Structure 1
Amino acid sequence: MIRHSIYLTFPGNAAQAFTYYQSVFGGELTMQTYGELDTSDFPFDPDPSWIAHGELRGPVSLSGGDGGDQPLGSPVYSMLLYGTDVEEGRALLARLAEDGGESIMPFEQAPWGDFYGQTRDRFGITWAVATRD
């Protein structure tokens, strides 16, 4: 059976991001640092405290690690989450906007009937939430 996970490359703050996402979404979090690995054959010299691989398994599954120097934010993608009700969707978007995030689109009834909104979190990831009324 196929399992799906988004993979994100962070610019040195993966541990902080994964810990934050676990606090928002719940789930089981595992992280391994480069310092725990033999990196002698790596094509780069990673900071030993950086995350080589992190994985959050739960209602929202995310994988990733440190190693990029590019910002994560981009207008060409967003993570779409489906809530079970309007209050859950509204609360989720508000939680993702806390601590340096920002609301991009308020959570309101959309022309197609669902409730929909967007937030960019403090790490630059855009999260869209949709729920049926």
Structure 2
Amino acid sequence: RGPAQIMPAIRRAILGSFLTAEPVILEPIYKIGVSVPAQWVGESSSLITRKRGRILSSEQRGALTTITGYIPVAETFGIAPEMRSATSGHAFWQCSFDHWEKAPENVAAEIIQQVRERRGLPPDIPSSKKFIDEI
């Protein structure tokens, strides 16, 4: 047999296996550190949590409080003006990549819909039964 007979069968088997494997979407997570005067701690913390972030610790060092936490990378786009606005420019923050996490179901569904739309695919994900033949 040649590739013309084998490739369609292999393609269907691989696509079917992708769907039966219950795939998940992983998103990159930053570790964020914010140094801010004590009067702006609430605003900084609420901004991080509004952006799906988690606060790990808050430590007072003299006049400044250092907030440490995790925040999804996708949520940090445009965070600089929001942080400046929330703290009147008193916060100093930095982010560095820390790990990957499973994206929440609603975020994953939104990403999948955007990708399917961009590629011109139907909005509904096909069932694995469409690709798996039973004997």
More helix by share: 2
Q: Comparing both chains, which one has the higher relative contact order based on Cα–Cα distances under 8 Å and sequence gaps of 6 or more?
A: 2
Relative to the length of structure 2, the TM-score reads 0.29
Larger Rg: 2
